[in-house]
Each structure stands twice: as C-alpha cells, then as structure tokens.
C-alpha cells in the first residue's frame, strides 16, 4: 500500500474536487524505471442507490496496469487533439464531437471488461472505438471519410463500429434500448456477457431510457446503463435540464452507483463491480460517471456562452483525468516520469502517423454510394435522380 494516499479526511470530504497526492520525496525525476510492482489506491467514495454494498473503496494497480491505462488515456486525448486539428483544416467534415476530459470513463471501463461484453454509445465515440480494437487509422480515416476508415468513410464521426462495439449512434438516447437489446441477446444465448449502454446527461431525460430501464428490470437483463454526466447536454446544464441530477438514482427500482468519472481507477473498479453484479443474474445497474467535457458540444460550439472559461480551466488544473492519474502513479513509485514521457512520445508518433495516413488515403469510389444498402439485395437497380440512369447495388463486404 502506498503511503502517498492523501488523508482519509480529505478523500472522504465529499467535494467534487479530487485531492492531489503529494509528490513524494523519494521519486526523482530521472528515475528510469519504477521501483514498485504494485500499489494500492484509495477511491473517492461511491454513492449507492438501493445497494447494500458497492465497489471496493481501494484498488491495487500493477505497474503494468498503470502503464497500459496511461497509454490508453494518452492515446484518447491525442486522437481528439488530432481530430480537432483535422476539423479546423477542413479535412474532417460534418460532425465532430470530442471526448477530451472524459477519457477516464472509457479507459477504466474497458480495463475491466471481458471479451464477451458489448458496448454501445452515443456520438462521442472516437475513443471508445479505438479501445474496442479499431486501429488509430481505422478511427481517424473514418473521420476523414476515407476508404480505410472502419466504416469505409460512410459512417463518419458518429458511426464507428468494431467487434462487440455497436456504435456510435447519432440519435440521442436511441442507443439505450439498443444496448438493452444487446443485453437481451447475452441473456438469450446464456453467454455470460454484459452490455454497456452509455449515454450523456442530456439523453438521460429521453423517454425511451425509462422504457428500456423498465424492461431491463422486468426481464433481469445483464445491462449496465452508464450515464456519462459531463455537466451539459449541448449548452444546457444538468440543473437546467433535469429535475433530479442524481442520475445514478434515476433508474428508481434499478440499483445505481455514482462514480468519480475523472478517476480511471474508480471507473475500473465500478465496472468490475457492475460486471460481477449483472453477470450473476441480478438484473441491470445504473452507473453515473461524473465527468467533464473540455471542448464545446461539437466543433461549431466554442463552449463558452453557457459556462465560463474559468470553469473549464479550473477542471483542467484540478481534476484532469490524465494529469491526476499521472501524479498518482508517479507518486506511488509505480512508474517513473521517464516511462510516461516515453509513452507520450510513442503515442504522439503513432497518432501523427495515423493522421498522415488518414489524410492521404483515397475516398471510396462513387459506386459505393449504393454499396451495402442491403445484405441481400433483391432490387434490380437502385433508383437515382433520373429514371433512365439507375444505379447498381454493390456488395462491398463479402457475404457469408
């Protein structure tokens, strides 16, 4: 157990500001390798709804875990920085919603997930797609609308897919019943898997969520409803949109957990608990991950009319999921600053290379406008704008 944990009084104070661990004197900045193989960290208390017992309040991290998680956090941040730049260069067109600030939610959850589990999320999905196994080029080339994109450039920013990853959905809230459907399939097949249906605090007020909650509970579906509360649904703050902003309690009859979504250790621990809970036949669970989005809602939103620049700066300085994790694992002597620097360099290089490739790849040919509309196309032709100029359906992806 690390001695670098802040005092319990600070940790349990219930404020939303994460207490930074003090830098230990023992760690020198030029230490090449870490000296400890594992360390235990306290977690800001979870809040529980209709649960007698929640996730563990402390968690052990191996040096290997820490490095892996740091690399993922760094990659997700870098993907979004690259995406923002590509958008400004007008190479990414259409929509583009950045995840910067929220990385600890996805990275912690993914670290706890098993191969059998499935995920569906909303349109802030670039990072999730990468975590679910799609390469950096697969993600970035999709954003630039190129052939090597994971949806061949036909989905764009909001419609990325991967193994056990069902999008990327552009209709606020629609992914939640779909996620309950994935959970239905897990139960139907008896494969032991759990479905994670993620949505924002904005979508949390959609009626279809409550329909999905109801059936998920009636049928004991292994579904974790994950509310990523980043404080704003577009420009409407949680206090202006939600009669109750305790999203973890809004499943009413479904137990819920509030999680510090800026702490990757907390999100991992909560997800471990959720998997254990849901895969043991107890039915669904709601998890509220309290987090923050640095960028505006989308690229057309500077994100400053409904909140102050100071507010964003304050979060960046005191609660940033990457900086705070870095401080924790360095202070605990689990990793050295040099190791993290190496990771930063590696990630930057990889994302830069992928970005370059995503710019230079060709787009799909115009014939794919009518590609893969149907798995089993039975239309003799696809109608175009002129009756005498019909288009041909193309089977781009091999059929079984």
Partner 1 sequence: MALKSSPVLYGLLARISRRSFSTSKALASKPVTVRDALNQAIDEEMERDDRVFVLGEEVAQYDGAYKVTRGLWKKYGDKRVIDTPITEIGFAGIAVGAAFAGLRPICEFMTFNFSMQAIDHIINSAAKTFYMSAGTVPVPIVFRGPNGAAAGVAAQHSQCFGAWYSHCPGLKVLMPYSSEDAKGLLKAAIREQDPVVFLEDEIMYGIPFPMSDEAQSPDFVLPIGKAKIERPGNHITVVCAGKATDTALQAANELAGKGIECEVINLRSLRPLDFNTIAQSIAKTHHLITVEQGWPQSGEHCY
Torsion region of 130: left, alpha or beta (phi above 0 gives left; psi -120 to 50 gives alpha): alpha
What character string, x for contact with partner 1 (CB under 8 A) and - otherwise, covers 90-119? ----------------------------x-
Distance, in Å, from the CA atom of 368 to the CA atom of 155, rounded to the nearest integer, reads: 13
Residue from 70, 166, 196, 199 in contact with partner 1 (CB under 8 A): 166
Asked if 126 touches partner 1 (CB under 8 A), the answer is no
Of the candidate spans 17-25, 41-49, 213-221, 263-271, the one that interacts with partner 1 by CB under 8 A turns out to be: 213-221
Asked if 376 touches partner 1 (CB under 8 A), the answer is yes
Nearer to partner 1, 34 or 169 (CB): 169
Distance, in Å, from the CA atom of 63 to the CA atom of 45, rounded to the nearest integer, reads: 24
DSSP tag of 373: S
Distance, in Å, from the CA atom of 346 to the CA atom of 183, rounded to the nearest integer, reads: 37
Asked if 215 touches partner 1 (CB under 8 A), the answer is yes
Nearer to partner 1, 141 or 329 (CB): 141
| Least separation in angstroms between CB 141 and partner 1 | 12
Nearer to partner 1, 19 or 214 (CB): 214
Of the candidate spans 90-98, 174-182, 270-278, 283-291, the one that interacts with partner 1 by CB under 8 A turns out to be: 174-182
Chain positions 276 to 315 lying near partner 1, rule: CB under 8 A, are none
Asked if 89 touches partner 1 (CB under 8 A), the answer is no
| Least separation in angstroms between CB 154 and partner 1 | 5
Distance, in Å, from the CA atom of 201 to the CA atom of 252, rounded to the nearest integer, reads: 16
Our measurement of the distance from residue 72's CA atom to the centroid of its chain's CA atoms, rounded to an integer in Å, reads: 11
Q: For residue 71, what is the enclosing H or E element? A: helix 63-88
Crossing angle, helix 63-88 and helix 136-143, to 10 degrees? 20
Residue from 11, 31, 112, 382 in contact with partner 1 (CB under 8 A): 382
Nearer to partner 1, 14 or 398 (CB): 398
Chain positions 216 to 275 lying near partner 1, rule: CB under 8 A, are 218-219
How would DSSP label each residue in 110-161? Answer: HHH--TT-EEE--S--HHHHHHTT--HHHHHHHHTT-TTSTTTTSSGGG---
Nearer to partner 1, 158 or 332 (CB): 158
The footprint of partner 1 on this chain (CB under 8 A) covers a number of residues equal to: 50
DSSP E strands, 184-284? 195-200, 223-229, 232-233, 236-237, 256-260
Supply 249's token pair. 């309690």
Chain positions 175 to 204 lying near partner 1, rule: CB under 8 A, are 176-186, 188-189, 195
Nearer to partner 1, 150 or 262 (CB): 150
Asked if 159 touches partner 1 (CB under 8 A), the answer is yes
Please list, in sequence order, all residues whose beta carbon lies within 8 angstroms of the beta carbon of residue 400, skipping any fewer than 6 positions away: none
Nearer to partner 1, 150 or 285 (CB): 150
Distance, in Å, from the CA atom of 265 to the CA atom of 268, rounded to the nearest integer, reads: 5
């Amino acid at each position: 157990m690390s001695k670098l944990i802040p005092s319990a009084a600070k940790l349990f104070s219930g404020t939303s500001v994460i207490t930074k661990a003090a830098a230990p004197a023992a760690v020198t900045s030029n230490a090449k390798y870490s000296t400890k193989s594992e360390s235990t960290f306290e977690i800001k208390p979870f809040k529980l709804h209709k649960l007698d017992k929640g996730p563990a309040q402390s968690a052990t991290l191996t040096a290997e875990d820490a490095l892996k998680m740091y690399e993922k956090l760094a990659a997700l941040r870098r993907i979004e920085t690259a995406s923002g730049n590509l958008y400004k260069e007008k190479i990414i067109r259409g929509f583009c919603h950045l995840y910067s600030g929220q990385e600890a939610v996805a990275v912690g959850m993914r670290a706890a997930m098993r191969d059998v589990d499935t995920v569906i999320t909303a349109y802030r999905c670039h990072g999730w797609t990468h975590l679910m196994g799609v390469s950096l080029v697969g993600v970035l080339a999709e954003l630039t609308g190129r052939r090597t994109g994971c949806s061949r450039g036909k989905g764009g920013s909001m419609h990325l897919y991967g193994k056990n990853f069902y999008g990327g959905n552009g209709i606020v809230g629609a992914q939640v019943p779909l996620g309950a459907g994935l959970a239905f399939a897990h139960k139907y097949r008896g494969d032991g898997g759990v479905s994670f249906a993620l949505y924002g605090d904005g979508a949390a007020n959609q009626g279809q969520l409550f329909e999905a909650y109801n059936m998920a509970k009636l049928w004991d579906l292994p579904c974790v409803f994950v509310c990523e509360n980043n404080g704003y649904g577009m420009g409407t703050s949680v206090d202006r949109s939600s009669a109750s902003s305790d999203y973890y309690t809004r499943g009413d009859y479904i137990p819920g957990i509030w999680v510090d979504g800026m702490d990757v250790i907390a999100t991992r621990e909560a997800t471990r608990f959720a998997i254990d809970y849901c895969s043991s036949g107890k039915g669904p669970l709601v998890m509220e991950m309290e987090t923050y989005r640095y960028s505006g809602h989308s690229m057309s939103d500077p994100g400053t009319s409904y909140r102050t620049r100071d507010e964003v700066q304050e979060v960046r300085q005191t609660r940033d999921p990457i900086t705070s994790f870095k401080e924790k694992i360095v202070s605990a002597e689990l990793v050295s600053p040099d190791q993290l620097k190496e990771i930063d360099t590696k990630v930057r290089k990889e994302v830069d290379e992928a970005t370059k490739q995503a710019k230079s790849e060709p787009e799909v040919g115009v014939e794919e406008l009518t590609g893969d509309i149907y798995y089993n196309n039975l239309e003799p032709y696809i109608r175009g704008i002129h009756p005498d100029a019909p288009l041909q359906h193309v089977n781009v992806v091999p059929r079984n």
